[in-house]
Copies of this chain bind each other. A is one copy, B any other.
Amino acid sequence: MHSGQKQELASLTGRLRRESRKITGPRAAILEILRHHPHPLTNKEIFAELPKGGGDLATIYRAMQLLEKLGMVKRFDFGDGTARFELVGEGDDGHHHHLICTRCAGVVEIAECFPEEIERRIARTNGYAGVTHRLEFFGICPDCQQ
Protein backbone atom coordinates (compact mmCIF):
# COMPACT_ATOMS: atom_id res chain seq x y z
CA MET A 1 0.00 0.00 0.00
CA HIS A 2 0.97 3.55 -0.50
CA SER A 3 -0.47 5.10 2.61
CA GLY A 4 1.93 3.30 4.89
CA GLN A 5 0.31 1.08 7.54
CA LYS A 6 -0.12 -2.57 6.73
CA GLN A 7 -3.61 -3.90 6.37
CA GLU A 8 -4.95 -6.45 8.78
CA LEU A 9 -5.24 -9.85 7.23
CA ALA A 10 -8.71 -10.06 8.81
CA SER A 11 -9.85 -7.00 6.87
CA LEU A 12 -8.62 -8.59 3.67
CA THR A 13 -10.21 -11.98 4.21
CA GLY A 14 -13.37 -10.21 5.30
CA ARG A 15 -13.59 -8.54 1.92
CA LEU A 16 -13.33 -11.92 0.23
CA ARG A 17 -15.92 -13.48 2.52
CA ARG A 18 -18.39 -10.69 1.79
CA GLU A 19 -18.24 -11.68 -1.88
CA SER A 20 -18.76 -15.33 -0.98
CA ARG A 21 -15.24 -16.12 -2.04
CA LYS A 22 -13.25 -18.73 -0.24
CA ILE A 23 -10.22 -17.99 1.87
CA THR A 24 -8.02 -20.70 0.46
CA GLY A 25 -4.45 -21.57 1.28
CA PRO A 26 -3.01 -20.00 -1.85
CA ARG A 27 -5.07 -16.83 -1.45
CA ALA A 28 -4.12 -16.37 2.18
CA ALA A 29 -0.48 -16.88 1.27
CA ILE A 30 -0.68 -14.38 -1.57
CA LEU A 31 -2.33 -11.74 0.61
CA GLU A 32 0.27 -12.34 3.27
CA ILE A 33 3.05 -11.81 0.73
CA LEU A 34 1.45 -8.66 -0.67
CA ARG A 35 0.91 -7.33 2.84
CA HIS A 36 4.63 -7.48 3.48
CA HIS A 37 5.74 -5.82 0.25
CA PRO A 38 5.72 -2.07 -0.20
CA HIS A 39 6.17 -2.10 -4.00
CA PRO A 40 4.35 -3.76 -6.87
CA LEU A 41 5.12 -7.47 -7.33
CA THR A 42 4.93 -9.59 -10.47
CA ASN A 43 3.04 -12.86 -10.37
CA LYS A 44 6.30 -14.67 -10.76
CA GLU A 45 7.77 -12.83 -7.80
CA ILE A 46 4.76 -13.74 -5.71
CA PHE A 47 5.12 -17.32 -6.89
CA ALA A 48 8.76 -17.35 -5.82
CA GLU A 49 7.86 -16.11 -2.34
CA LEU A 50 5.26 -18.82 -1.91
CA PRO A 51 6.32 -21.75 0.29
CA LYS A 52 7.23 -24.75 -1.89
CA GLY A 53 4.05 -26.46 -3.06
CA GLY A 54 2.14 -23.43 -1.85
CA GLY A 55 0.33 -22.95 -5.13
CA ASP A 56 0.47 -22.95 -8.90
CA LEU A 57 1.42 -19.98 -11.07
CA ALA A 58 -1.96 -20.20 -12.81
CA THR A 59 -3.64 -19.97 -9.42
CA ILE A 60 -1.77 -16.76 -8.73
CA TYR A 61 -2.87 -15.33 -12.07
CA ARG A 62 -6.46 -16.20 -11.23
CA ALA A 63 -6.15 -14.83 -7.71
CA MET A 64 -4.76 -11.51 -8.92
CA GLN A 65 -7.55 -11.23 -11.46
CA LEU A 66 -10.10 -11.73 -8.72
CA LEU A 67 -8.41 -9.40 -6.27
CA GLU A 68 -8.21 -6.73 -8.96
CA LYS A 69 -11.90 -7.14 -9.78
CA LEU A 70 -12.74 -6.76 -6.08
CA GLY A 71 -10.57 -3.66 -5.92
CA MET A 72 -8.22 -5.24 -3.40
CA VAL A 73 -5.12 -4.91 -5.54
CA LYS A 74 -4.07 -2.39 -8.16
CA ARG A 75 -2.35 -3.43 -11.37
CA PHE A 76 0.68 -1.45 -12.51
CA ASP A 77 2.47 -1.48 -15.82
CA PHE A 78 6.16 -0.59 -15.85
CA GLY A 79 6.32 -1.07 -19.58
CA ASP A 80 8.32 -4.30 -19.51
CA GLY A 81 5.46 -6.53 -20.53
CA THR A 82 4.88 -7.92 -17.05
CA ALA A 83 2.02 -6.89 -14.79
CA ARG A 84 2.74 -5.90 -11.21
CA PHE A 85 0.33 -5.76 -8.30
CA GLU A 86 0.13 -3.85 -5.08
CA LEU A 87 -2.35 -4.18 -2.23
CA VAL A 88 -4.93 -1.40 -1.99
CA GLY A 89 -6.25 -0.06 1.31
CA GLU A 90 -9.96 -0.30 2.03
CA GLY A 91 -11.82 2.72 0.70
CA ASP A 92 -8.74 3.67 -1.33
CA ASP A 93 -8.63 3.28 -5.11
CA GLY A 94 -4.89 2.71 -5.09
CA HIS A 95 -4.15 5.40 -7.66
CA HIS A 96 -0.53 6.51 -7.42
CA HIS A 97 2.74 6.44 -9.32
CA HIS A 98 6.30 5.15 -9.21
CA LEU A 99 9.82 6.17 -10.08
CA ILE A 100 11.67 3.21 -11.55
CA CYS A 101 15.42 2.84 -12.02
CA THR A 102 16.08 1.73 -15.58
CA ARG A 103 19.36 0.10 -14.50
CA CYS A 104 18.49 -1.92 -11.38
CA ALA A 105 14.68 -1.80 -11.52
CA GLY A 106 14.57 -0.23 -8.06
CA VAL A 107 11.20 1.35 -7.27
CA VAL A 108 10.26 4.47 -5.33
CA GLU A 109 6.67 5.29 -4.41
CA ILE A 110 5.68 8.74 -5.63
CA ALA A 111 3.13 10.93 -3.90
CA GLU A 112 2.76 13.46 -6.71
CA CYS A 113 0.02 13.05 -9.25
CA PHE A 114 -0.87 14.71 -12.54
CA PRO A 115 -2.46 18.09 -11.72
CA GLU A 116 -6.22 17.74 -11.53
CA GLU A 117 -7.02 21.03 -13.20
CA ILE A 118 -4.96 20.17 -16.25
CA GLU A 119 -6.58 16.76 -16.48
CA ARG A 120 -10.03 18.35 -16.20
CA ARG A 121 -9.13 20.74 -19.00
CA ILE A 122 -7.96 17.87 -21.19
CA ALA A 123 -11.21 16.03 -20.52
CA ARG A 124 -13.40 19.06 -21.22
CA THR A 125 -11.51 20.15 -24.33
CA ASN A 126 -12.01 16.75 -25.90
CA GLY A 127 -15.42 15.98 -24.49
CA TYR A 128 -14.19 12.85 -22.72
CA ALA A 129 -15.87 11.62 -19.53
CA GLY A 130 -14.38 9.76 -16.57
CA VAL A 131 -10.83 10.67 -17.47
CA THR A 132 -7.94 9.18 -15.49
CA HIS A 133 -4.31 8.57 -16.24
CA ARG A 134 -1.56 6.02 -16.05
CA LEU A 135 1.81 7.60 -15.19
CA GLU A 136 5.21 6.25 -14.24
CA PHE A 137 8.60 7.93 -13.97
CA PHE A 138 11.89 6.44 -15.10
CA GLY A 139 15.47 7.42 -14.33
CA ILE A 140 18.73 6.26 -12.81
CA CYS A 141 18.80 5.75 -9.07
CA PRO A 142 21.58 7.13 -6.87
CA ASP A 143 23.35 3.77 -6.55
CA CYS A 144 23.33 3.13 -10.28
CA GLN A 145 24.84 6.53 -11.03
CA GLN A 146 28.10 4.96 -9.64
A interface residues with partner B (beta carbon < 8 Å): 77, 79, 81, 99, 101, 108, 110, 112, 114-115, 118-119, 121-123, 126-142, 145
Contacts and interface: CB of A to CB of B under 8 A. Distances in A.
Nearest to A143: B127
A134 B121 CA distance: 20
Nearest to A121: B112
A110 to B, nearest CB: 6
Contacts of A135: 114, 133-135
21 contacts: A79-B134, A81-B81, A99-B122, A99-B128, A112-B118, A112-B121, A114-B114, A122-B137, A123-B139, A127-B141, A128-B139, A128-B141, A128-B142, A130-B140, A131-B138, A132-B137, A132-B139, A133-B135, A133-B138, A134-B134, A134-B138
Number of copies: 2
Given A132-B139, A137-B119, A99 B126 contact: yes
Contacts of A110: 122
